[in-house]
Structure 1
Amino acid sequence: MSLQERLLSIVEKKKSNLCVAADFENSADVLRIAEQVGPHICMLKTHADILVDFSQEFVTSLQDLAKKHNFLIFEDRKFADIGKTVQHQYSAGTLKISSWADVVTVNVLPGPGVIQGLKAALSEQEQRSRGCLVIAEMSSADNLATADYTKHAVEIGEAAGDFLLGFICQHRVSQKPGVLHFTPGVKLQAGGDNLGQCYLTPEEIVGRRGCDIIIVGRGICQADCPASTAQTYQKVAYELYQKRQ
Structure 2
Amino acid sequence: MPRLIRLMPIAILAVAAAILYAMYGEYLSFDALRDQREALLAYRDSHYVAAVIIFVAVYVAIVATSIPGATIISLTGGFLFSIFPGLLLNVLGATVGATLLFLAVRFGFGDTLVSRIDSSSGRVKRIKDGIDENQWSVLFAMRLLPLVPFFVANLLPALMGVPLYRYVVTTALGIIPGAFLYTSAGAGLGAVFDAGELPDASSFLEPRYLVIVILVVCAALVPSTWKRWQGKRTPE
* Alignment TM-score, normalising by the size of structure 2: 0.28
Greater helix proportion: 2
Select the structure of larger CA radius of gyration: 2
Q: Higher strand fraction: Structure 1 or Structure 2?
A: 1
* Larger RCO, structures 1/2 (Cα 8 Å, 6+ apart): 2
